[in-house]
Structure formats: structure tokens, C-alpha cells
Structure 1
Amino acid sequence: MARKKQKPPFSPAVMLVAVLIILVLGVFGVQVPDTIQEIFGIHTQEKTVPSTTKPVSSTNPGPKELGPATFSATELADKKNGWIDYHSLDSLGRATGADALLKPTMVNTGTSANKDIRPPGFVSGLEPTNHSRGHLIGRQLGGSGDDARNLTTLYQTPVNTPFMTKYENQIRQALDKGETIRYRVTPVYEGTKLLCKEIELEAKGLNKNTTVDFRVTILNER
């Protein structure tokens, strides 16, 4: 004997109205219980699929603050004009350091890293190497990105930013207030390795009530 067709629990008109109500509620962020959605054969929420990608974690311990700057009285002598002295490249073509007397007029006079310059050890593309052409004297402080003596291969994250940027921003804020800052950046290498092991930053404001007076090292690690 043929089975009778089971009638839907609701008339088509009621179904249509219910579906419209559910869709409108979904638009306004009102979550409709799954059981009700299943009755009317509609789903407004996408099910979340767990991500299999592990978050990138860093083993870099962060900046190591070593106390106040160690400039001699002679090194802290003020000059009318600011200056930057890039030290010579070593026999492997690695940048060896830079000294500067930073004045407010030097802010934002630097240049971005020249893509035609490849500091020793640098591999193009942030991934998978995470390398950057790191300025010794930052661009916002007047450092040149067109002089190989001012560029060394750093891990972009977290070394170049946010670690190094944190201290450059402190200097920048002091310059914006009219201060003069003595600054030195020194990459420290281990043997003939092309990437520096760490980078040392040292800065001291020449104003009496300066807020800038630090010596810090940052490991060049991811």
C-alpha cells in the first residue's frame, strides 16, 4: 500500500514569513537557536573551523637595558650643526657602526632603505627569512638608506620593530621638543657570521632635564 505523503508542519506562507524573520534577525546580529533554524531548513551562522596554523612565537628575550650612556665629556660636546658619521665597512662588507649628534632639524630627513643594497646575509622577502635592511641611524632620525655603511641585516620582527623602534621613538620625541641627542649604534658580530649577533644602542640628551639617557643591547634573533 502506498504511503501517504507527509504534510509539512507549516504552510508555505508561514514558512516564508519565518525564514524572512530569521534572516532579518541574522542581519542584526541576533543569534537564532540552531534547533529553530533546522526546523525551517536555514542557517544564518557559519561554523568556525579550527585553524591548524600555529601562531608565530618569538624566542627573543627583548632589549637588555644596561643603564645610562657611557659617552665621554668630549663625545658629548655640542656643535652648532648636527652630524652623522658612518663607520667603515669591514672586510666582509658588514656595517660596523654609526655615531651622530642629532638636532631637531634632522627629523625625517633620512631615506628609506635602498632595495639595490643587499647587506651581507640579507635574503629578500620577509618570509621565510624575516630579514630587513636595518638602518643603524633610523630614517626618522636622518639616517640614510642609500649608504651601505648605515644598513645591516636585522630580523624585521621583533628586532627592527618593535624593539629598536621603541628607542628610536624616545629619541624622536625628545628631538620634537627641541633637544639635542648624542647617539651611537653598533652591530656586534660573532666571527665571520654575516648577521650581527646583537645591536647596541646608546643615547644621551644634552639638555639639562633630558629624558634620554640609555645604553641597551638587542639580540638579533627572531
Structure 2
Amino acid sequence: MAKKKKRTQNKSNLSLIIITLILVVALYISGMSPTEALDYFFGTKQSQVTEKAPESTSGDNPGPIEHGKAIFTKDELKNDKKGWIHYGELDQLGRPTTAEALITPQMIGTGTGASQDIRPPGFISGKSPHNHSRGHLIGRQLGGSGEDLKNLVTLYQNPVNTPYMTKYENMVRQAADNGETIRYRVTPVYEGNIGMPIAVDMEGKSLNSNTIDFHVTIENKK
């Protein structure tokens, strides 16, 4: 009788293992990493689990959408003569929220490359067909950190991360190289519980000239 009970229990355990593996594989296929899938199934780190972003059709990115001048307030344009960067807190789903900075010439080239150990929400792979990048909000060339999750979002490498965002980062860098101080802000825009942003909002305003004054939205599409 004891042996029969043990065989029944073993069959139940085996069935549970098989069901668990099927669910983990299904979550992995849906776009989660193996670790994320296990976390989701066993109830850990649920706040960081997000829906998979819909695939964008190659070539449907309209390019930077210009809104005119930056919308900083007078207080936000105060110059304390010392450069700084501030990253907003992660939201309840573990997504970066904003990055603000006062870019000075001394900050140029002081940033770090994106850590391969960090997987921003929504990140699957940099390889085709996903074309994902660990995109800096405050770019590396402007002093942004690639080792702080608050500064890294999942972007399509081409054309979003480059050349679209790079175009405006280069403008800010050129102004700083010429001695300018620039107020700068980058804000990811999300939809629902999708991990990667659907767009990135960028603003820049030079404090001692009209060299830099822009406000653009770049859709996160291929």
C-alpha cells in the first residue's frame, strides 16, 4: 500500500515538473528571459515583469518629431555653474522614468558604456530580428552612466538609438565642446505594462546662447 502511495506521489510530482517546464518555456517564447520566466512563475520580482512590446514593422519610423523649443521653467534653467545628472526613480514595473542633466564641457566623454549584465525591461537581444540596444537616456558621450539601470532603456538600435538620438546628443556635445552649458532632459514614454518605451522625449537648451533649443519626440520603432 505504501509503495502504491509513493508511486502515485512520484507521478504527481513528475506531472507538476512537466507543467512547470511547459509554462516556463511558454513565458520564454513570449519574450521573457529564462530568469524572468522563472521569477514570474514562482512569484518573485513580479513588479519587473512586463508585457512584450509589439514588433514594429521595419522602416515605419517617421523620424524625430519636432515640437519647437524646450519647455524648461525659469527655475530649471538656473545655472549653478557645476554640471550634474539626476536619474528618476524606477516605476512600479522597474522601468526608468526620466533623466535630467546640466551638461558642462567638463562632463564630455566621462560616461560609461552599457553594462552587458543589465537587461532593461523589454530587452530580448541585440541580434536580428530584435535589434535591441541598452539605450542610455543621458548618452555616454555626455557623461551618462551605462551601469545604472535608471539610465538604460530598451531601444531599437537602428534607427532610434542611432542615428536619431545620436543626432541630438552630438548637437549637445558640440555646443559643450564650444564652451556652452546645456540644460538637458530625456524622458521615456510608456504604454500600459510594456517594458520598452514606445517613444523617447528629448529636450535641450543652452544657457548662455541660443545655440541649443529643441524639443523632439523619437518613436521607438524600427
Shift of 1:57: 5.1
Cα deviation, residue 92, structure 1: 1.0
| Residue pair 1:110, 1:138 contacting (<8 A) in 2 also | yes
User: In the alignment, what sits opposite 2:203?
Assistant: 202
Identical-residue share of aligned pairs (%): 63
Alignment match, 1:216: 216
Counterparts of 2:68 and 2:198 in 1: how far apart (Å)? 20
4+ runs of 1 displaced by more than 6 Å? none
Secondary structure of the 2:90 match is coil
Match of 2:78 in 1: 77
Q: How big is each residue's C-alpha offset from its partner over 1:58-105, in whole Å with a ceiling of 9 and x where there is no partner?
A: 110000000000100000000121000000011111111100000000
User: 8 Å contact 1:95–1:152 — kept in the other structure?
Assistant: yes
1 CA distance for matches of 2:184 and 2:129? 32
Please, which runs of 5 or more residues in structure 2 have no aligned partner? 1-56
Give the residue type in structure 2 aligned to 1:179: E
**Shift in Å at residue 108 of structure 1?**
0.3
Q: Equivalent residue of 1:159, what SS?
A: helix
Letter in 1 for 2:126: G
TM-score, normalised relative to structure 1: 0.73
- Distance verdict in 2 for CA 1:102–1:122, change over 3 Å: same
| Distance in 2 of aligned mates of 1:118 and 1:79 | 34
Q: Which amino acid aligns with 1:171?
A: V
1:148-201 deviations in Å (ceiling 9; x for gaps) = 000000000000000000000000000000000000000000011111110000
Equivalent residue runs for 1:1-222 within 5 Å: 58-208=59-209, 210-222=210-222
Q: Distance in 2 between matches of 1:202 and 1:68?
A: 8
Please say if residues 86 and 149 of structure 1, whose CA atoms lie closer than 8 Å, have aligned partners that are also in contact.
yes
* TM-score of the superposed pair, with normalisation by structure 2: 0.73
CA contact (8 A) 1:126 1:132 kept: no
- Give the 3-state SS of the residue equivalent to 1:126 in structure 2: coil
Question: Higher Cα Rg: structure 1 or 2?
Answer: 1
What residue ranges of structure 1 are gaps of 5+ in the alignment?
1-55
Structure ranking higher in helix proportion: 2
**Aligned equivalents of 1:198, 1:182: Cα separation in 2:** 21
Number of aligned positions between the proteins: 166
Query: Given that residues 133 and 153 in structure 1 are in contact (C-alpha distance below 8 angstroms), is that contact kept between their aligned partners in structure 2?
Result: yes
RMSD: 1.1
Residue type of the alignment partner of 1:204: K
Question: 1:67–1:195: structure 2 CA closer, same or farther, 3 Å change rule?
Answer: same
